[in-house]
Every structure is written in C-alpha cells, then in structure tokens.
Structure 1
Amino acid sequence: MNKSLLSVLIAAASVPAFAQHQQFTMQEATLGIKTNLAPQNLKQLNWIPGTDAYVYAVGSKEQEALLRTIVPQMKADTLLRLTDINNGLSLSKPLTALPSVEWIKRNECYFSDGNDYYTGTLKNNRWEFSKWCSLPENAENIQVDNHSKQIAYTIDNNLFMVDVYGKTQQISNEPNKDILYGSAKVHRNEFGIAEGIFFSPKGNMVAFYRMDQTMVNNYPIIDWSTNPGKNTDGKYPMAGGTSHEVTLGVYNPITKKTVFLNTGTAKDHYLTCITWSPDEQYIFIAILNREQNHLWLNKYDAKTGAFVNTLFEETDSKYVEPQHALTFLPNSNNEFVWWSQRDGYMHLYHYNTDGKLINGVTKGDWLVNEIVGENAGSKELIITATKESAKEKHIYSVNWNNGKMTLLDNAAGVHTAIVNEAGTYVLDKYQSADVPRNIVVKAVNSKWNKTILQAADPLASYERPKIENVELKADDGTPLYGKIIYPTGFDAHKKYPVIVYLYNGPHVQLITNGFPASGNLWYEYMAQHGYIVFTMDGRGSGNRGLKFEQATFRQLGTAELDDQLKGVDYLKSLPYVDANRMGIHGWSFGGFMTTSMMLRHPGIFKCAVAGGPVIDWSMYEVMYTERYMDTPQENPDGYANNNLLTKVKNLNGKLLMIHGAQDPVVVWQQSMKFVKACVDNGVQLDYFVYPGHEHNVLGKDRVHLMQKITDYFDEYLK
C-alpha cells in the first residue's frame, strides 16, 4: 500500500473519533434541540379523514409536496404539490413553501396564508383551489369549524364570525374593553381552558365565553421600547381579591340571536369543560366554586339557556380540578366519558346523561394522559397513559364497557399517537433516552405494524456526558425520581462543582424517559465544562397522582424543599461532589423554589439564579394560588411562612434574580419588591431584566440569558 493512500485511510478513520469530542456551543445548548440538532421528523403527519391513508410533507422549496400512503398496503403516491396550489390560485405573490394543510374531509382541505384562507377540492384527480375569506389583520382567537366551513374570531374584545355564505356577522358589540367575548384567556387558562369559542357539532350554533373584568384591579404593563414608555393596563386578579365574572353565550347565525346560559348566582364561580351534546340540544358545563372544592356537572338547554339538571357532583377536602371536556361515545347522544381524579389518579368514567355511572373505564395507581381516538366497532377508546411507568407514556386501547386494556406499543419511552378516524390504525411517534425519534404505523386490533421513520442521532458527533437515573425517598417513603449528569471526562478521584436545576411545581414533570436522556442540552453543556448537574421531581410535581401533588397543599415551598434537600443529602454523600461549590437554578415556580432554598435553608448553596420567581403568593393570580393555598384570609400562616420578602436577611451566598419586564404571569412587581426588601435590609442582590420579554425569555435572546446564567455559575463555582 502506498504512503499517500495509507495517510488518507488513517485520516478518514480518525474523523468519527475526533467528531465525537465536539462540544455544544451556547446557541446549540439553548436552541439546538428545536433547530439544527432536532431529530428528524415527518412534517404535517396526519390521517386523511374517512380513509386509511396518512400524509406527510416531502421535498423542499418549490418541490415540496404531500405524500399519501395507504395502509396496510403501504402504497404511496404524491397527493398535493406546492405547484398545484400556486398554479390553481394564480397568486400575485406565489407561496414559497407548502402551507400547513388542514383536512375538512377526504377530498377537501383548507390552508391559510397570513389571514387569507383558501380551500382545495380534489375532483377527478385534479385539485381546484379558491379563496375562502380574508380575516382582518388584528383577528385573534381564530376557530375554524371544519364541518360547516365557518370561522369565528375576535377583534379586541368583540366576537365575529364568517358564516356558511361567506358573510361576516358581528356577534357582540360591546363598547367596554373590559368585557371580553370569545377570549381564550378566561380563568387565566386554568382548568384546561385553551379556547373561548365552541362551535356546535354540526356548526348550527356557536357558544362563547363572556368575561367581565370591570371589577378586577388594573395592572400596569409598561412598554419600554417607546419614548416615553407606554402603559398598557391589564387585569390581574390576585389571591383573595376580586375575580372576574364569566358566563356562556350561544349565538344562532340564522336568527342572529344570542342567549346566555343560566349558570347560577355565584358570580365568581369557574366554568369549564364546555361540551355540546351531539344533537346540539344541550350544553354541559363543569361549574366549580371559588373555593375549588366542589364541582357540579350541569346540563343546559342550548336554545333557551335554561338550567336542566345537575348530573353529579364531586367534592374534595383540598381541591377538585376539572381539566377535560366530556367525550361523547360514537353514535350516542346520551353516553359519554368523564375524566376524574376521585380515586387518586386521573381516570375515565362511563356515564349517561341522566347522571348514572355505568362503569369505570380505567383504574389503577397510574393516570390517563389523553384520549386520542375511538373505535365504534370494537367499543374502544385509544388513550395514552402512565401504566407502564410514571416516567413514560404509552398507547392503549380500552373497551369503554368492560375496561379491557391492550398495550399497543412495544418500546420503552414517551409515545404520542395520531389515530385515524375509524380508530383502526395508529401513527406512533416515540422517543426514549437512546431513541431520538421513531415513527411506526400499526393496526389497533392486530399485530401488523410498519416502521416509517428511524431518526439518526443528531448528537452522535458530540461529546456526551454519562447520565444516571436516581431514585430517592421522601420523608413519607414516596419514591422521588431524579437524574445525575456527570462531567465529560469524569474522574471519580476529583471534586466537582454541582448545579441543581429544579421546578417542582404542579403539572410539570422534568424526569422522563425522553430524548435527550439528560432532558436539556444546557445540562450537557455544563457537564462539558466541568459541572455535575442534578435534577429531581419532588412532591407537588405532575404525572404522579393526586396524593403526590396535594402533599404541598396550603404550604407551597415546604414539602418540595424537604424533598429537594433529600437530593442535596444524596449529592453530599458522593465523594466526587464538592459540597462547598454547589449552585441552584430554576424559573417561575422553580425561581420561587430557588429563592426559597437560599433563604429558608441558607448556606447550602454558594450561589443561585432565580428567574421569574413568585416571591409573595398573595400577589399571584386567583385561580392557581387559591387551588393550592386557599385564600390569604383563610390561610394566613401558610402565606406568611412562604413569603420570601420577610426572609431576605437570611441570604448567605450569591443570588442573581432575573425577570421579564413585560411579564403578565408572575408580575414584575414580585421581584421588584424583593429588590426593595434587600435594599431596606442592607442585603446585596444581583439583578437583571429582559425588556420586551414576558414570563419566559424566548428566541435569540434566550442564548443571552443562558450565557448570563452560565457566567454567573462560572464566576462563583469555578
């Protein structure tokens, strides 16, 4: 072999080894997992209604198209091209990318380009496109009803709709800007609320929230980008204070009349789980009292607004938290599935509209995450649940009459499911610690399956740290799940600084069997720069059942800190942990936890970074705070114990506090009052503000944020 050829082979052989020592840039550590380091995916993956065919986007630029595949034959063809759209519409400014296509039925779709909406119909293997409508530029809360091809939307505080004839109807004409129609911000998006407009099943009527905020205190949010700064008053109901009042209206576009449902006299009760009956005769609403410990599932006449009856009630000594609308069973006007945590975990219950419990559908020390489909023929729901592991999510079919469950996937990890209309096939997308993304199409009632994507590891060329799962126990014996991430090039004979990242608040779970195994590339960046990183879900976190979550009731920041201290004890027991160089970081509830740890257990951590922190729970919003803390009037000791303004003198170490200047969730005043308390008590605090950002610092500025946090730990822990 000649020397030149030998040198080429040696160089080629050395590339993978060299490449595997590549380190993340801060840009990659912050944004990479959603951009250049994201696992391969199939864009616009979905089922075509009424068929056993799925589509996804292929190609790029002007060659982009939707590929259709018929199962189980796996016969593929090109269904729709970007050129078909541009040629069919003859736009003055052609589309440069395939728009997001939404299916109305098997041969009909729609898409939008900005606020312009278009429809497409497949006739004789040829697409015909036409302009549907144009919405005003300031339209918000847009809801499209596929069945009737109508669109409802809001402008400022009023509600409008484009009817079946393409005419715009103004549903409300409210001059008071503090009375909102159709807003998705009702009850500050608690109780599973994500929208404020609800078309009836056939599109003959539209229900909507009406939220009156006139009685709620104004709260200033300052826009500092103008000169002078501009105040845009919002409404912010704080714990124990006056809350807004909500009702539900029903509009008939034929008669152009609105009726409001008679939902009762308690003006500050909560209305959620809005559900139409399939025959459009009734609307069901879960009414929750202000104390959040008593729920009524009520039935109302959609035409008159009259209260019909209460189907059943639910109570709890701590709180009831409804989060899901009713799921009516196929071909039935009087049988539905209800979600409830009454047995300690979120499960499904089969009811009829007389309020009779027919049977429990699911049961056990695990919880249901989603209903993703239904199969009328086999009387089965397709669900995702934590039955195999609290750190995973799997797909099951379950018979709604007898509760028989069948696991539909066979791989560890976190699975999401897209189900065809008949409930006979599932697109299973999953990840795990060592699987970036796989997508499998499978039959629900047979073993047939086909893998359609196995994504390569986008992190294969990077120097990756060793990651271990950790299980500790709370004071009451409850298992606590965590992860420890070791420095790259780890040497057990050395001592390393440690960063603890935490959240530990309701509805959030950090520890899952997902990709990447670390959970966050910034953790790995820090490991590449010589840190041990530790994170753990303590009691109060999500996805572990009601007892686990309610352990923090009326004393936020107490049991959670006790659990995080178990993690601290574990870290201190490791010979390679330098207990004198420990830092802690969290955002939002995690910012509250970080600050609490520094003040209530001073001296453990040398430095900390707290982002967007709640400092005084009496200044946080009504719905969330009163669920977990009751009101300040009912629980003065709980609020006092966790008020961090009274504990600033305890600070023993360096604390950097960060806040978004336009934060409407944890208002800026929270950390500003903490700054003032530090000044009053002669306590030094490091503080930074991100103008133009709300509760989270997003986009390119997030790289700046994570660099600032990293620099702070480097300064005080290295």
Structure 2
Amino acid sequence: MKRIAYSTSFFVMLLLMVFSANAQKKELSIKDGIVGYWSLYPEYKSVQWLPNSKGYYVESTKDAFLKVNAKKGTSTSLISLEELKKSNSELEKLSRLPRVEFIDGSSFVFQFNNKVYHTDLNSKTSQVTTTFDGANVDFTKDFKNSAYTKENNLFISVDGKEIQISHETNKAIEFGKTVHRNEFGIHKGTYWSPKGTALAYYRNDQTMVTDYPLVDISSIPAKEAPVKYPMAGQKSEEVTLHIYNVAAQKSIQVNTEGPKEQYLTNIAWSPDEKFVFIGILNRDQNHLVLNQYDASTGAFVKTLFEEKDDKYLSLTHPMEFLPNSTTEFIWRTEKNGFEHVYLYNTDGKELAQITKGDWVVMDVIGFDRKNQNLYVLGTDNNGLDRQVYKANIKSKTVKKITSLSGVYSGVQYDVTTNLFLASFSNTTTPNKQFVFDGNGKVIKTIVDAENPLADFNVSPVELGTITAADGKTILNTRMLKPSNFDKNKKYPVIVYVYGGPGVQLITNRWNAGASYWMQTAAQNGYIIYTVESRGSENRGKEFEQVTHLHLGEEEIADQIKGVEYLKSLPYVDQDKMAIHGWSYGGFMTTSLMTKTAGTFKVGVAGGPVMDWKMYEVMYGERYMSTPQKNPGGYEKASLLNKTDLLKDKLLIIHGLIDDVVVPQHSFRFLQECVSNEVQVDFFTYPGHPHNVRGKDRVHLMNKVLMYIDAELMN
C-alpha cells in the first residue's frame, strides 16, 4: 500500500510539474510578433558558394567570412570584420560584415556609403570600383560601372565619372525607373548588357495619366502630394525602350511599333550584346509577341514567336540563354496549363518542353556542367510544397530529387561539384540548412534550428483541405486553435482572407504563412482559419483564371464552403464568427459582409477595393478587362451599390496616403453608407500608404483584435 501511495504521489507530482511548466510559458504579444519579429525568427546562416572552389562555400558569421568544406565541414577564415575595416581607411566605420558577392575564390564586392568596393582576400585590401549618387542603382556584371536615377533623370558612373543620360525637366516623364506599376515581373528600369558596353533603359511618359490628389499632412497647412494613377479604362502611361552606348556616349530608341499604351516586358540581352529582346504585351494582356531588335540601331529584326490566351497571359520571366550559347534559350510559360520551362532557339523554333506535369515552376536553379540537365524549384503537394526537380533535356524526363515534404528555399547550385545549398522548413521544422547532391542526398547539415517559440504559449498550425464550391477542386486550409484547446468547448472564429490573384497565403513551411498576431489571437481564445480559394496563385492556369471578368464571385463561394466546414465542427461557436483581410482581402471582407450578410457578426476590412473602376490599369484590366468592355462584371463586383445589405459591424481601415488602393475607395463607400443610413466604422493611418508597417503595425493589429473582441467576447 505504501508503494502504491508513493507511486500515486509521484505521478501527481509529475503532473503538477507539467502543468507548472505550461503555466510558466510566456504569452506572445502583438508587439513581440511585430517589433520583435526577427528575434523570433528561426536560426539562419548566410551562405553562398565560393566560385570555382571545388566544393567550398562561404559562411557569414558575426565577425568573419569563413571558407567551409562542403563535405567535411572544416573551415578557415577568409577575412575578419576587423581586417575588412583595415583594408581601406574609408571602411573604418563598418559596424558589421556587409552583404557581399564573390567574383571568384579570392575576391568579392560590396556596397558601402554609395560606393562599391572590391576586396582582394590575398592582400586584404579593398579598392573602390564605382560610385553612385542616386536611387534605383543597377550595376554591370563586374560591378565596375553603375546606373542610377536622380529625381526623374538617369545617370551612369563609368570609371568613376558621372554621366547624365537624360535631361528631362518635365517631372511626369521618367527615365531608368520601373514601369507598368511593377506588374509583368518588372522590378527595375535599367538593363546593362552582359559586358557593360551598353545600357537599355525605360522612358516612361505619364503626362497623359491622371494626377491622383493624395495629401501630405506633415506640414501646416497640409499640401498636395499627387501621384500618377491610371484607373481602369482610362489613359495609361506610354513607355519606350532606349539603349545608351557607353563608348559612343549616345542613346537610340528601340523601334517598338504598335499602340502607345502597350506593355514592354521581359527585357533581355543576347550574350554577344548585338540584340535586345522584348516581350510586347497588348493592353488587353492576352497577346504577346517576343521581338528581336538590333542593339546598335534599335531596328526591328524579327518576331520569334507569339503567345495568346482567351483570358490573359501571365509571362513574368525574360528569356535566359543557355551557358555558352548565343542561339538557344529557355522560356517560361503556362501555355499548357502550368508554368513550365521550354527550350527555344533564336529562329523562334520550340526545341523541347523541358519540364512538365501538374505543378508550377517557381524558379530556375541552373544547368549542370554539360547542359544536359536543368534544375528547377517547383510546387508539389497540392501547391503547398517547394521541391527541387531535375529535367533531362535529351530524354525529356523530369525527376523530383528532394524528398522531405515542405518548402525548400534559397537553393543554390554549384556546377563544379553538382552540389546544392538550401534551406528547408515545414510546419514542424523551423529551419534546416544543408548541402545535398544531385540525387537529393544530404551531405552535410549546416543549421538545424530550434523552435524560437518554444518558450511561448502558442498553438500548432494545422493544414487541411476542403472541396471548393465547384464540387471538385481541392482547396488548402490553415487553422490555429486556442493554445489551451478543449474539444468540449465552443470557440469564436476569425477567418483571415485574401482570396485574390497573385498571392498564396498557405504553404507547408514554418508557421504555414501564419502571422504571429494569429498566435496572439489564439492565446486569447480564438480559432483562426484561412481558405486558399480559387483565383489564388501557384495552382495552375485553370485554378487562377476561374475568376476572370467576375471578381468576388467564385472566391466568395469558396469562402462560404469554408464557413460551412467550420459550422460542422462541434467546437466552433457559429454565432461568433469574424472576418478580416487586407487589400484584396479587404475587398473580400466587405463583399462577404454585404453579399452574405449574417454570416459574420463582425468584419475588419483593410485597404479595401470597393469599386474596380477606381483600381489601376495593369492589375485591374488583367482580371476584369475595362469598364467599357465588361460593364456587367464591374457592376456585380462593385460594393458601392451594396451598402444597404450591410447588417453587422464593419470597421474599414485605410492608409491616408495609399497609392495602391487609393483612399477614394473607402470614402465613396462611407458616402454610400451615409446616404443609405447604414452605420459603419472607419479608421485611418495618416502617415501610411497601402500597408501599415513598423511600430505602428502594433497599433493596427491591436485595433483589429480589439474591434473583434468587442463584438465576439462580450
């Protein structure tokens, strides 16, 4: 009896220890998850292959760059922070190791104080290779020359000498900046030729585009701060491409004939610098021609091929020439349903489809030494995973070489050893970094990160699926339950939504894409749920294009399927459901609060599109065409004529200087609410554009959760 009593007491003591340990875990606050985000990020090491070094990579520590043997793990110091500071008197104020790019095994380059330094690791000396004094900086491949903008004009620095290329006084005409509002994969406005002898650059004439009147309230009185904003169906910008010859110090215009409002995309140079290639997309975004132009004269040479689609094209990657070839290149397109890699020649002939399958190519990693195999990063597991694939050009076979279910990222390939560097995570793995070979076999583990949230009272992220409203398509879902979840209790729900094109919220990585504020809400007794509805990214063309011309219909039907699933769960309080989303998610939130009134007791819509006629040309017309061509679609999608349907509590939040979804959307909605005697709540962030970032985001997420709490937790 004494032994049993002792065992029972011991068991009770163990339980008390477990409960005590749980009780001692910290609560994750909104501030922790935003201001302290990086301190809660899994351990990560900055690594890169050392060029032509036969199996060595560089690891950046706090105090030095290390040369590491990829197979053995042995390391030696290449240069320390102190040595780098002493390598040039101008570098004495370096407080940490800079981000560098290795030119070869014994030298690298980096930026510091508007200068590019070349560091020789043998002599431990650093020399300035080029300077820049502006924005939108772009460097030649050898980092010896640079291009940059000052206000609306373009400059280059060659051999330390600044040359002004454009001399435009009209501020509505810009040179060397990104165009078409960063759509079509365009993220810069200058393109150096491979050897740096010439620079292709955009000229963007926006004089015909409407000035949208944003307001700067930082001065007294407030002043206008207008931006050029082409709305759907209205006049758009007129873009041309020009080429500056460095030796001749002269620019020519590329002869891109056609309508002035077409889109010039996918800029690429031929390896011999003789030609420039441009993907010219019509304003309807359903017809692209890949054209070749003479780089010395700007003259049209020929059209390599055309692509058409009955809805729209999504071609966001320029051609990439094969190593050591001037005639063969790869081209990424979803013409057969999923984005894959094709091999073409400069006669425009398709030589082969290199990758294939019901998955999407996310990134091209590189060719092997003999150009026989191409390695790519692609989706898997219903779009949740990112895996490495090997495609053999001759046999046309494709093989997945990685095996762990999750997301491989930052994949770097070393052609000399056929080895890879990569990071990996899934919902139970914070971060692993390793070296693996061409068959996917792990050679060395660099990092096996511990859970950065181990000391916090957080919930596991659960991935699931439901069937879409079409009765056949599988949709991915994500759920966080309260950290002290009890299946016998009922909990309120916050549905977090985006639902629009160009975004994927849920992946099989650490936290599955969930923000830390969701963990805070779960601590406070909420279930947080997300459905990746049809129309979102990385599931193939049919999945994405189903919403074409009628945004806010199929996505809403899918979200309602998610609600039906929630209501089938015994631990969900059907009378206490909230919805929150930003941007397209704000449009979806408001759509659901009006079109399906009564489904959610409360909603918070951030930066919402209320009428697609007021959204910009490039994105809006791709998915909705123009108001002139699709008046019925615009009318159905508009929320300005649906304010009388609003029955429950809705808070609208908008940045006062939002230049993406302009504030007019929310103010017009408010105006309609007043006219229809409908009560709605509104809050603005005066100093913020489309997203509220920095420390003010703490205020934003507290505002969102406090508003929801007031309705669901009383």
TM-score (norm: length of structure 1): 0.94
1:464 alignment partner in structure 2? 458
- For structure 1, which segment, 165-174 or 50-59, has the greater mean C-alpha deviation from structure 2 after superposition? 50-59
- Aligned-residue Cα RMSD (Å) equals 2.0
**Displacement after TM superposition at 1:203 (Å):** 1.1
Q: 1:21 aligns with which of 25, 43, 54?
A: 25
1:158 aligns with 2:153: yes
Match of 2:698 among 698, 703, 714: 703
Q: Secondary structure at the match of 1:671?
A: helix
Q: Matches of 2:351 and 2:218 in 1, distance apart?
A: 59
Following superposition of structure 1 onto structure 2, how do residues 474-489 of structure 1 map, counting pairs within 5 Å?
A: 474-476=468-470, 477-489=472-484
Tell me the distance in 1 between the aligned counterparts of 2:438 and 2:232. 47
After superposition, the Cα gap between the structure-2 partners of 1:20 and 1:518, relative to the gap in structure 1 and judged at 3 Å, is farther
Gaps of 5+ in 2: 1-9
Counterpart of 1:634?
629
| Aligned counterpart, 1:427 | 421
Paired residues, what number? 699
Q: Quick one: distance in 1 between partners of 2:215 and 2:510? A: 39
Instruction: Check whether the contact 2:192–2:199 (CA below 8 A) recurs between aligned residues.
Output: yes
TM superposition shift of 1:714: 0.7
Q: SS of 1:36's equivalent?
A: helix
Aligned residue in 1 for 2:393: 400
Deviation at 1:585, TM superposition (A): 0.2
Distance 1:292 1:208 in 2: 22
Letter in 1 for 2:79: L
Residue 38 of structure 1 pairs with residue 38 of structure 2: no
Deviation at 1:10, TM superposition (A): 9.6
The answer to whether the 8 Å contact 2:331/2:341 transfers is: yes
Q: Please tell me the residue identity of whatever aligns with 2:45.
A: L
1:422-447 Cα deviation digits (max 9, x unpaired)? 47221110110000000011222684
**SS at 2:181 equivalent:** helix
Q: Quickly say closer, same or farther: Cα 1:517–1:282, change in 2 above 3 A.
A: closer
| Distance across 1 between alignment mates of 2:226 and 2:380 | 46
Corresponding position: 1:685 with 2:680: yes
Amino acid at match of 1:450: K
Task: Identify which of 196, 217, 223 aligns with 1:224.
Answer: 217
Bigger shift: residues 330-339 or 447-456: 447-456
Aligned to 1:594: 589
Q: Which residue number corresponds to residue 49 of structure 2?
A: 47
User: C-alpha displacement at 1:334, in angstroms?
Assistant: 0.4
- Percent identity over the alignment? 45
Cα distance in 1 between the residues matched to 2:688 and 2:440: 50
- Partner of 1:130, secondary structure, is strand
Give me the whole-angstrom Cα distance separating, in 1, the residues matched to 2:665 and 2:442: 56
Range moving further from structure 2, 109-118 or 680-689: 109-118
Query: In 2, Cα distance between the equivalents of 1:16 and 1:542?
Result: 44
Q: Which residues of 2 match residues 155-234 of structure 1 at below 5 A? A: 155-163=150-158, 165-184=159-178, 186-234=179-227
Letter aligned with residue 309 of structure 1: K
The within-5 A match list for 1:621-660 is 621-660=616-655
Equivalent in 689, 696, 702 of residue 694 of structure 1: 689
Structure 2: distance between partners of 1:299 and 1:436:
46
Instruction: Show the 5 A alignment for 1:84-483.
Output: 84-91=83-90, 94-122=93-121, 125-136=122-133, 139-147=134-142, 149-163=144-158, 165-184=159-178, 186-416=179-409, 417-420=411-414, 422=416, 424-444=418-438, 447=441, 449-476=443-470, 477-483=472-478
Tell me how far apart the structure 1 counterparts of residues 113 and 216 of structure 2 sit (CA, whole Å).
Answer: 26
Give the letter for the 1:135 counterpart: F
Q: Contact between 1:423 and 1:444, CA under 8 Å: does it hold in 2? A: no
In 2: Cα distance, 1:522 partner to 1:92 partner: 40
Cα deviation digits, residues 577-618 of structure 1 (max 9, x gap) = 111111000000000000000111111110000001101100
1:288-331: CA deviation from partner (whole Å, max 9, x where unpaired): 10111111111111111111111111111101121001111111
Q: Secondary structure at the match of 2:535?
A: coil
1:536 and 2:531 are equivalent in the alignment? yes
What residue identity is the alignment partner of 2:259?
A: A
Contact 2:653 2:682 in 1 (8 A): yes
Aligned to 2:59: 56
Contact 1:616 1:643 in 2 (8 A): yes
Structure 2: which amino acid aligns with 1:585? Answer: H
How much has 1:129 moved relative to structure 2? 1.0
Q: Give the direction of change, closer, same or farther, for the CA distance of 1:391–1:670 in structure 2 (3 Å limit).
A: same
Residue aligned with 1:183, SS: coil
- In structure 2, relative to structure 1, the CA distance for the partners of 1:382 and 1:427 (3 Å cut) is same
Q: Is the 8 A contact 2:292 2:304 kept in 1?
A: yes
Within 2, Cα distance between the matches of 1:301 and 1:16? 74
Cα contact 1:373–1:423 (8 A) shared by 2: no
Rate the CA distance shift 1:683–1:114 in 2: closer, same or farther, 3 A.
Answer: farther
Q: Distance in 1 between matches of 2:272 and 2:18?
A: 68
Q: Work out whether residues 131 and 160 of structure 2, in 8 Å CA contact, stay in contact via their aligned partners in 1.
A: no
TM-score by length of 2: 0.95
Contact 1:104-1:146 at 8 Å conserved across structures: no
Report Cα offsets for 1:506-538 as digits up to 9, x if no partner: 121112111124722222211111111110100
Aligned residues of 1:372 and 1:383 also touching (Cα < 8 A)? yes
User: Structure 1 residues 47-56 or 590-599, which shifts more?
Assistant: 47-56
1:578 aligns with 2:573: yes
| Contact map agreement 1:151 1:162 (CA 8 A) in 2 | yes
SS at match of 1:493: coil
- Structure 2 Cα separation of the partners of residues 296 and 515 of structure 1: 40
Task: Please list the CA deviations of residues 420-475 of structure 1 after superposition, one character each: whole Å capped at 9, or x if unmatched.
Answer: 35472211101100000000112226846111110011111222325432211123
Tell me, yes or no, if structure 1 residue 553 matches structure 2 residue 553: no
Counterpart residue type for residue 46 of structure 1: Q
The alpha-carbon deviation at position 362 of structure 1 amounts to 1.0
Name the stretch that deviates more: 627-636 or 669-678. Answer: 669-678
The CA distance in 1 between the partners of 2:246 and 2:509, in whole Å, is 47
> Could you tell me which of 470, 474, 488 is aligned with 1:493?
488
Q: Which moved more, 1:20-29 or 1:368-377?
A: 20-29
Structure 1 gap segments, 5+ residues each: 1-5
CA distance in 2, matches of 1:507, 1:20: 42
